[in-house]
Amino acid sequence: MKCPKCKLEDLKEVEINGVKIDRCEYCGGLWFDKDELKITRDKRDKDLSWLDFDLWEDESKLMANGKSVDCPRDGKPLFKIKYGNTDVMVDICLDCHGVWLDRNELDKIIAELKQKINSETIPEYISDLGKEIAELISHPSKADVELRHIMIVMKMLEYRFLAQHPKIAELISVLPD
């Protein structure tokens, strides 16, 4: 496969967080086949795994720009879309569901997602917890994944609560085991 950006280099297989993806040695771009980006993100930081969203869910959010690049897998045009609620624009293929990230965009995505979970308020975490419980009920076949997500959100809620209420945290810290 040729790099969709520089079109000079063949993409080389590399391993990131235990996932084999394709990388351009010239421009540093990364090609993720279907689901590889989510798996890479989740392996990089397990606390981010509950942040579910589907890049292909809402085609009205797709943006075509004047200079389109083609999918290295199937040659179809790639479309730009925001990665979830981040400011990072990624290139996606509607046919094979591959994702192209330019140099350093994976690190930017991880940093913005971490910022999101670090800045959520208690009411937002309670809302997230409700959504995760609803997902558990609506997808009982994925109970193990949804229960893990519920535990992560509860842990984040606990951290946020204790950070916002240091006196309560202090009282809890002196309680016997």
* Rounded CA separation 12/98 (Å): 16
pTM of this structure: 0.79
pLDDT in single tens digits along all 177 residues of the chain: 899 988 888 999 999 989 999 999 999 999 999 999 989 998 888 888 888 766 656 666 656 565 578 999 999 988 888 887 788 889 989 889 999 999 999 999 999 888 988 899 999 999 999 999 998 999 888 899 899 999 999 999 998 999 888 898 888 888 887
What is the 8-class DSSP label of residue 1? -
Chain mean position to CA 8: 29
